[in-house]
């Protein structure tokens, strides 16, 4: 398996994850629905996981893969909190469009 | 940089695609055909289905689902531990017990708070 | 390490206080627990213990941890006053505060990037919940969602930075990365990209310009005690992590990223101070003041070196002491004025509660940097170090900004000493508020008159 991963040049992984990461960033910046923003953040995190696994195979050390586990766990915890917050907000204002969150402006 | 041999992957793809096509064609040709209103329902469970799937459903499912995700994902850590169980020895075992104990405390908290009570 | 374990257990204890019915006992237990944690840290002073290359408890980590713990101790004393009428939910909030504090301690003592990531997340996730803890209040909801989305976004940058740094150096260990940078043999370009991404993420976390825009909204919307925690503990922890990471790993490459930090420092100072000028809410003004103080601390980061650590430590201690007083008085005033927080709300405070007004004045003057208060010495040491290292123009910008900041700090004082129809009524603060004010005011004055108490600590 390691040979297969290493058969593709490292730069390809780097480009792929950078592109995925950028798609995630653009999603966060331009989408207005809180859930889609959250999904874009997940896309960012998963592009990082991909990159870490690729680096891990190239360096031949498993630390990065354990790090990926940590990222997954923390992402799950974050999503749980985030979705709970969104449910809370949906109950109060009946929408998840972040443009309606404008109470705090001077 | 050595080039990779992609032929096994291509073969795998061909076999996978071929099996799907073959199985579907065979069932189409040989399978019995009975067309009736009940047969075309989305769910064949005997109960009349109500509305469509994209309707809002009770928020109670949300809490259960989220709690399931949280406890489910923690299992990730058990795999690397299990693979290295022998090398880690007693120390690793105790560490994992501590980890599970914290999870159980969380579970106890959920039960005590009544988050799993349906009514 | 013992005190981190102790704090986790303390968090679990207060989590169960609600369900097993020892609500009344929990705050004393927490206060004793935090004091014990400080004791355990002080006991480790100078021992440089390492914990499986994951956490390293050198004097830097211990000093900042003790600062975070002391500040939290005072915040919990304030909680004794602020939450005295609240119901069941309070023990859960305490548990979240303690978990967040544990994350903060990890951020001061990490020696591996994994721990930095976990520390930041353990600090942030409870805070997302805390920011939204007034469930029926739309402002609180909005603050929580904004904080959550921005925090998760920043985490993405942090992780991408960590991944790139790992990809180049092949290790998550700070010592390993430092050795890699020092060797400096064919460092790939993406390593520098990684450093920049780390800077972006940490600037987000310390709420420095141009990544500060979430801070005022979040600070204003959150419940006042949570705002206190965010603008003191979170900010100090983030700066401790920032300084530790960059001081330890990347100093040989300082010439590459210095320009970014300098620009961020200047922008933070200007935006923080100028925007604070036309705020109507004292809480929001304090948020902008927090942003501008992040700018001063960034100057220390630019200047770097071993001397920067003691300056950052002293400055954050002075800033925390003054902010705590300011937030405590704000809490008391808001409680007696139906939760309003504009500058005008403070009118008549000096007439009806002269002692509180005096405390607030001391806090404002200390934040503005008037001698002989702690804030003045913080700025003095900072500017002196910066000038010595040849950053005179940066110091001039900072001094210009201090002058701007005088306006909005004095505006609070002037409002307190003027009268109106709708004045703050006379009220007697309870023992917890008095104790909290006495302790933080004492810290303010002590640091002002004996700055050497903390200045020599980190050499």
pLDDT < 50: residue spans in chain A = 106
Nearest residue of B to residue A70 by CA position? B77
- Share the mean pLDDT of chain A: 86
What ipTM describes this predicted complex?
Answer: 0.93
- pLDDT value, residue A103: 65
| Terminal CA-CA length for chain A | 57
Domain count, chain B: 1
**C118 to A74: CB separation less than 8 angstroms, yes or no:** yes
Å between A77 CA and nearest CA of chain C: 8
Contacts 24+ apart (CB under 8 A), C350-357: C350/C416, C350/C417, C351/C419, C351/C423, C352/C423, C352/C424, C352/C425, C352/C426, C352/C427, C353/C424, C353/C426, C353/C427, C353/C429, C356/C329, C356/C332, C356/C429, C356/C437, C357/C416, C357/C417
Top-confidence residue, C245 or C353: C245
Neighbouring C-alpha atoms within 13 Å toward the C-beta of C404:
20
Nearest residue of A to residue C121 by CA position? A74
Distances (CA, A) of A71 to A66, B7, C94, C120, C136: 9, 34, 26, 12, 32
Residues from C contacting B (CB-CB < 8 Å) are 12, 15-16, 18-20
Nearest residue of B to residue C89 by CA position? B113
Å between A75 CA and nearest CA of chain C: 9
Sign of CA dihedral B103, B104, B107, B113: negative
Is B119 domain-assigned? no
Å between B16 CA and nearest CA of chain A: 20
Give A 79-98 residues with CB within 8 A of chain B.
79-80, 83-84, 87
pLDDT at C114 over 70: yes
- pLDDT value, residue B43: 67
- pLDDT value, residue A93: 80
**B73 to A87: CB separation less than 8 angstroms, yes or no:** no
Å between A32 CA and nearest CA of chain C: 12
A6-20, C98-112, C337-351: which is most confident: C98-112
Neighbouring C-alpha atoms within 13 Å toward the C-beta of C149:
29
Is B118 domain-assigned? no
Q: Mean of the pLDDT values across residues C376-390? A: 86
pLDDT (tens digit, 9 = 90+) per residue, C358-368? Answer: 888 888 998 88
Distances (CA, A) of C434 to C68, C215, C260, C262, C341: 21, 29, 43, 41, 21
The 3-state DSSP class for residue C20 equals coil
**A87 to B70: CB separation less than 8 angstroms, yes or no:** no
- pLDDT value, residue B1: 46
Residues from C contacting A (CB-CB < 8 Å) are 114, 117-118, 121, 125, 128-129, 132, 135-136, 138-139, 141-146, 148-149, 152-153, 155-156, 159-160, 162-164, 166-167, 170-172, 190, 216-217, 220-221, 278-281, 284
Q: Residue A74 maps to which CATH number?
A: 1.10.287.3510
Domain that holds residue B55: 3-113
**Neighbour tally for C126: CB within 10 Å:** 23
The 3-state DSSP class for residue C222 equals coil
Give Dmax over CA atoms of chain C in angstroms: 71
Is the minimum CB–CB distance between B112 and chain C shorter than 8 Å?
yes
Q: Is the peptide bond before C210 cis (omega within 30 degrees of 0)?
A: yes
Cβ neighbours of C136 in A, within 8 Å: 92
Q: Which of the residue ranges C191-195, C222-226, C414-418 would you say has the lowest mean pLDDT?
A: C414-418
Query: What tokens were used for C119?
Result: 């520390």
Q: Residue B45 maps to which CATH number?
A: 1.20.58
- pTM across the whole model: 0.88
Q: Where are the domains of chain C?
A: 2-455
- pLDDT value, residue C88: 67
Cβ neighbours of B105 in C, within 8 Å: 12, 15-16
pLDDT at C1 over 90: no
- Write down the residue that tokens 């110091």 correspond to: C395
pLDDT band, residue C163 (cuts 50/70/90): very high
Top-confidence residue, C391 or C202: C202
pLDDT at C307 over 80: no
pLDDT (tens digit, 9 = 90+) per residue, C384-417? Answer: 888 888 888 888 998 999 898 988 888 888 888 8
């Amino acid at each position: 398996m390691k040979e297969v991963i290493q058969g593709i040049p490292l730069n390809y992984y780097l480009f792929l994850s950078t592109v995925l990461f950028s798609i995630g960033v653009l999603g966060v910046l331009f989408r207005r629905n809180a859930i889609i923003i959250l999904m874009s953040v997940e896309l960012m995190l998963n592009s990082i996981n991909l990159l870490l696994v690729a680096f891990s195979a190239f360096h031949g050390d498993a630390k990065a893969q354990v790090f990926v586990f940590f990222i997954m766990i923390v992402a799950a915890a974050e999503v749980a909190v985030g979705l709970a917050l969104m449910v809370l907000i949906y109950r109060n204002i009946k929408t998840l469009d972040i443009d309606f969150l404008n109470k705090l402006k001077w | 940089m050595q080039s990779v041999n992609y032929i096994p992957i291509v073969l795998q793809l061909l076999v996978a695609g071929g099996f799907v096509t073959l199985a579907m064609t065979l069932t189409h040709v040989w399978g019995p055909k009975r067309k009736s209103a009940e047969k075309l329902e989305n769910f064949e469970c005997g109960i009349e289905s109500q509305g469509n799937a994209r309707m809002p459903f009770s928020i109670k499912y949300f809490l259960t689902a989220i709690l399931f995700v949280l406890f489910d994902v923690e299992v990730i850590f058990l795999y690397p531990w299990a693979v290295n169980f022998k090398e880690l020895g007693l120390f690793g075992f105790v560490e994992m017990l501590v980890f599970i104990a914290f999870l159980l405390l969380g579970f106890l908290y959920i039960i005590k708070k009544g988050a799993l009570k349906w009514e | 390490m013992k005190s981190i374990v102790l704090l986790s257990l303390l968090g679990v204890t207060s989590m169960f206080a609600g369900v097993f019915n020892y609500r009344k006992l929990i705050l004393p237990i927490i206060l004793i627990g935090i004091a014990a944690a400080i004791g355990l840290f002080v006991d480790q002073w100078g021992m440089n213990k390492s914990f499986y290359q994951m956490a390293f408890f050198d004097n830097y980590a211990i000093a900042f941890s003790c600062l975070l713990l002391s500040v939290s101790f005072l915040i919990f004393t304030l909680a004794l006053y602020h939450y005295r009428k609240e119901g069941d939910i309070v023990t859960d909030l305490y548990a979240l505060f303690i978990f967040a504090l544990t994350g903060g301690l990890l951020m001061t003592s990490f020696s591996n990037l994994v721990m930095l990531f976990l520390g930041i997340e353990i600090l942030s996730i409870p805070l997302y919940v805390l920011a939204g803890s007034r469930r029926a209040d739309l402002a609180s909801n909005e603050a929580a969602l904004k904080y959550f989305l921005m925090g998760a976004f920043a985490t993405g940058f942090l992780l991408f930075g960590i991944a790139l740094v790992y990809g180049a150096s092949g290790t998550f260990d700070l010592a390993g990365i430092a050795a890699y940078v020092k060797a400096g043999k064919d460092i790939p370009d993406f390593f520098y990209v990684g450093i920049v991404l780390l800077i972006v993420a940490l600037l987000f976390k310390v709420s420095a310009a141009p990544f500060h825009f979430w801070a005022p909204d979040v600070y204003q919307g959150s419940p006042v005690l949570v705002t206190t925690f965010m603008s003191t503990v979170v900010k100090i922890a983030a700066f401790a992590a920032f300084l530790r990471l960059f001081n330890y790993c990347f100093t040989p490459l300082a010439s590459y990223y210095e320009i970014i930090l300098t620009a961020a420092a200047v922008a933070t100072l200007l935006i923080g101070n100028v925007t604070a000028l036309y705020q109507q809410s004292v809480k929001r003004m304090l948020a902008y003041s927090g942003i501008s103080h992040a700018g001063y601390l960034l100057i220390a980061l630019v200047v770097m070196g071993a001397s920067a650590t003691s300056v950052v430590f002293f400055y954050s201690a002075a800033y925390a002491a003054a902010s705590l007083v300011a937030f405590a008085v704000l809490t008391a005033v808001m409680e007696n004025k139906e939760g309003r927080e504009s500058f005008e709300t403070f009118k008549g405070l000096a007439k009806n509660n002269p002692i509180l007004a005096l405390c607030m004045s001391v806090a404002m003057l200390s934040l503005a940097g008037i001698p002989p208060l702690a804030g003045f010495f913080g700025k003095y040491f900072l500017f002196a170090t910066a000038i010595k290292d040849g950053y005179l123009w940066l110091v001039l910008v900072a001094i210009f900004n201090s002058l701007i900041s005088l306006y909005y700090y004095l505006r609070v004082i002037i409002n307190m000493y003027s009268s109106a129809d709708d004045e703050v009524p006379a009220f007697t603060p309870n023992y917890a508020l008095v104790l909290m004010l006495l302790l933080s005011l004492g810290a303010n004055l002590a640091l002002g008159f004996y700055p050497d108490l903390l200045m020599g600590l980190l050499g």
